[in-house]
Amino acid sequence: MFDVVVTTPAGTYTSVGGIAYWQAPPWPCTVLEAAPDPAVVYDPALRTAILKTGLPWRIRESAVGIEMVLIPNGTFWMGCTISSDMTVCPSDELPNHWVTLTNVAHPVSETS
């Protein structure tokens, strides 16, 4: 288990044990794509970071069919940014803020 620390202009919140990682998932899953699709992950540095983890990029959990993608360690902006055409951001995507991920899950086993 790992703690999650969220820092905003209003202060810092720590969720103790907010994320848990397993050696292999406790559920069956299928690897959909081992490597990131350049048509989806445009940034070559991000594709390289994903590949360096040694983990599959996209999997499907078998019981309910949820698809998941790997997000590598790093810092990124999360939330909506108003574009040049003044698109309105949905309230659940505000405020735009920095997120830092410091750990990734361990490799999963592919099943059919």
| Predicted confidence (pLDDT) per residue in 47-89, tens digit | 898 888 888 889 998 888 889 888 888 888 888 877 666 677 8
Mean pLDDT across 30-50: 89
**Would you list the domain boundaries of the chain?**
24-101
Helix then strand then coil, in percent of the chain rounded to 5, is 10, 35, 55
pLDDT at 23 exceeding the cut of 50: no
pLDDT score at 36? 92
Can you tell me the distance from the alpha carbon of 62 to that of 68, in angstroms, rounded to the nearest whole number? 11
Express as a percent the part of the chain with pLDDT over 70.
76
pLDDT score at 26? 53
Spacing of C-alpha 39 from chain mean position = 18
Residue with tokens 């499907």: 60
Can you tell me the distance from the alpha carbon of 28 to that of 24, in angstroms, rounded to the nearest whole number? 9
pLDDT at 111 exceeding the cut of 60: no
Q: What is the pTM of this model?
A: 0.52
